[in-house]
Amino acid sequence: MKDDSVYLNHIANCAARIQENTAQGYEVFMASHTLQDAVLRNLQVLAESTQHLSERVKATQPNIDWPEIGAFRNVLVHDYLGIDLDAIWL
């Protein structure tokens, strides 16, 4: 298992990329399959990275619903045809 810092860095990098890829707003995001794919991929990597964090690190953030993030990751990976981009935008 990698050190928590590796996964925390992945999470931070993905969050920054998501912000970058959505900075031009909803209309641009919805018009660009490339931006949509980039955001979805970064959400997937972010969610996957949370699954590798130690329980000690997760315990420091009790307000985060860690199992829900894992469930979201499963939707991104396995139910990709059912992804609602409007819900992702929110």
3-state helix/strand/coil string of 5-52: HHHHHHHHHHHHHHHHHHCCCHHHHHHCHHHHHHHHHHHHHHHHHHCC
Category of 25 on φ-ψ map: left (φ > 0), alpha (ψ -120 to 50) or beta: left
The single residue of 33, 41, 56, 78 carrying the catalytic annotation is: 78
Tell me if residue 73 is catalytic. Answer: yes
- For residue 8, give the nearest of 57, 64, 70 by alpha carbon: 57
The single residue of 17, 41, 52, 73 carrying the catalytic annotation is: 73
**Positions marked catalytic:** 73, 78
